[in-house]
Amino acid sequence: MSLAPGNGPVQITQDQLQARIHEIAAKIREDYHGMEPHLICVLNGAFMFHADLVRAIDMPCTIDFLQASSYGNAKQSSGEVRIVKDLQFPISDRHVILIEDIVDTGITMNYLLHYLEGRGPASLKIAALLSKPSRRKVEIPVEYLGFTIPDAFVYGYGLDRSQFDRNLPFITSQE
């Protein structure tokens, strides 16, 4: 495992990320053939994953953005979820895929699923780049998963370290 300059070991390389994103995109194309899915990016952490996934899907789709917070600048979730930025477009009768960077405890995703289900989508599925099942407090159905990782603080490729390092093209961890 190589070290990222000024960071810990590279956990998932840029090539590994892109290869897995293309696999997820192929599955979404298959599952939504003949449909126009609506891909909602959970800001801020999922913005890179969302952008790369939307480009890789290569089919008619629409996008929107939602921001929820349960962390602030902390490394541990507070457990209290709040909507910081709501959707711009209605999702009633739409096939929605919620794009998330990481499913950790499951508390935020559980909140968002119930929040969005109340708006009457035709279907609602989750695509998550990362999952930490060892930390799960609420089980969440992730239909499109990038990577399962151990319980470590990771950042890069959209995930931050106190708002920094989102621009790293790979995922690394703190030593």
List residues with catalytic annotation.
104
| Secondary structure (DSSP) of 119-146 | T--SEEEEEEEEE-GGG-SS----SEEE
Q: Determine the 3-state secondary structure of 152 from DSSP.
A: coil
Triad 98, 99, 100: Cα angle to 5°: 115
